[in-house]
Amino acid sequence: MSGALGPFLLKRLALSLLTLWLLSVVVFFGCQVLPGDPARAILGPLADPRAVAALNEKLGSDRPPVEIYLSWMGGLITGDMGQSYAYRSPVAPFIGSALVNSLKLAATVFAIVVPLGIGAGVLAALRAGRPIDRLISVAGLSLTVIPEFVSSIALILVFAVLLRWLPLSATWPAGSGPLVQLQHLILPALPLVIVLFGYIARMTRAGMVEALSADYTRTAILKGLPWRTVLSRHVLRNALLPTITVIAAQMGYALGGLVVVESLFRYQGIGSLVLGAARAKDFAMLQAGILTVGAFFVVTTLLADIVTTLLDPRLRTGGRR
């Protein structure tokens, strides 16, 4: 019966590749319509136009866009992300280290927010209508609307300046162990935890309330199962399906959308890398950065689909009766 999973995965994989290719087209031609050309960006506004033309020719940036795109794609497929104009060196190592940093930050965020959000959502649903439910719902909603830069500054003031519990900068001294790194990561992770907590808690609560009032839950109760077993075996599994999708969708955001937090905490993640590249018109870096974030989005969505499919037999076995 799980034989249906193979073709399903292949189809999803093909769709993911198509999405990535479309993204590459959009990113590339989006960069092409930006004003200014690479040589001008490198040489500065006062440089001799002839020097600019010569450099453009040397860089290959005077060729027709389609040709540049094809050679860029060719490079990507063979693992060459191109050369950074700004740093005059291959792009790949920059992307690599920024990605590792971003992943560390995102992992910290989710390690905190997933158990917290799901726990709060489950608790709120179990106490639906009671004060604790109201508290969780209102808190979740109000925290979600606080912009990261506001909460970041408040958190810095409280934890780094006043209480001095946590280091101000997210960047740890070279060669630090994992514990020290974690200490540096907690403070920048918190603003995102605050934003995501409400989403996850509300989604979990909604799924739980639905599953708790479902007929199959009543069936389980009337079987004489202890409440804990009813929850763990019959309620949670069905309740968490929508939450998983939400978490996966937010993962991409946590990786690529952290420009503000990264720059406030002076953290070398992929967000600040992309921002810097856009300012410097460092097209190769910009394109590679965005495409990396996009690839991450696609992968997390695919993972969420797979997990949802594994948990929901109706998707796995089709609508066949």
Partner 1 sequence: MTDLAVPPVLRLDDMSVSYRIRGRAVPVLSQVNLSIAKGEVYGLVGESGSGKSTVALAVQRVLPANGRLSGGRALINGRDVGALDRAALLQMRAREVAMVFQDPGRALNPSITIGRQVAEAFEILGASGHEARRRAEEMLTRVRISSPARVMERYPHQLSGGMQQRVVIAMALAKDPSLLILDEPTTGLDATIEAEILDLVDTLRREFGASILFISHNLGAIAGLCDRVGVLYAGRLVEEGPVRDLFAEPRHPYTAGLLRCLPRPGLRKDLAPLDTIPGFPPAPGSITAGCVFAPRCALADETCRTIDPPLVATGAGRVSRCHHHDRVADLPHAEPRAAAGTLAPAGTGAGTPVLELTALSKTYGSAPYAVQALRDVSLRLMPGETLGLVGESGSGKSTLAHALLGLIAPDAGGGMALDGAALAPEVRRRTAEQIKTLQIVFQNPDSALNRSHSVRRLIGRAITRLGGLSGAKREAQVTRLLESVRLTARQLSARPRQLSGGMKQRVAVARAFAGNPRLVVCDEPTSALDVSVQAAILNLLAELQAERQVAYLLISHDLGVVRYLSDWIAVLYLGRLLEVGPAARVLDGPHHPYTEALLSAAPSVSGERTGRIRLTGAIPSGVSPPAGCLFHTRCPRRIGPICDTEEPPFTADAHGHAIRCHLPRGELGRSPAPSMA
121 within 8 A of 141, measured Cβ to Cβ: no
Is 48 a residue that touches partner 1 (CB under 8 A)?
no
Is 232 a residue that touches partner 1 (CB under 8 A)?
no
Report the nearest approach of partner 1 to the CB of residue 125 (Å): 12
Structure tokens at 55: 């450099």
* Residue from 45, 64, 177, 224 in contact with partner 1 (CB under 8 A): 224
Q: How far apart are CA 293 and CA 27, in angstroms?
A: 12
Is 312 a residue that touches partner 1 (CB under 8 A)?
yes
Which of 142-150, 159-167, 171-179, 309-317 is the region at the interface with partner 1 (rule: CB under 8 A)?
Answer: 309-317
Is 313 a residue that touches partner 1 (CB under 8 A)?
yes
Report the nearest approach of partner 1 to the CB of residue 242 (Å): 13
Is 131 a residue that touches partner 1 (CB under 8 A)?
no
Residues that contact partner 1, how many (by CB under 8 A): 26
Is 222 a residue that touches partner 1 (CB under 8 A)?
yes
Q: How far apart are CA 127 and CA 115, in angstroms?
A: 18
Is 45 a residue that touches partner 1 (CB under 8 A)?
no
List, in sequence order, every residue forming a beta bridge with 90; answer none if it has no partner: 83
Is 243 a residue that touches partner 1 (CB under 8 A)?
no
* Residue from 40, 205, 234, 281 in contact with partner 1 (CB under 8 A): 234
Report the nearest approach of partner 1 to the CB of residue 8 (Å): 16
Nearer to partner 1, 7 or 129 (CB): 129
Is 311 a residue that touches partner 1 (CB under 8 A)?
yes
DSSP classification of residue 146:
S
Q: Which residues bind partner 1 (CB under 8 A)?
A: 1, 129, 214-216, 218-226, 233-234, 237-238, 311-314, 317, 319-321
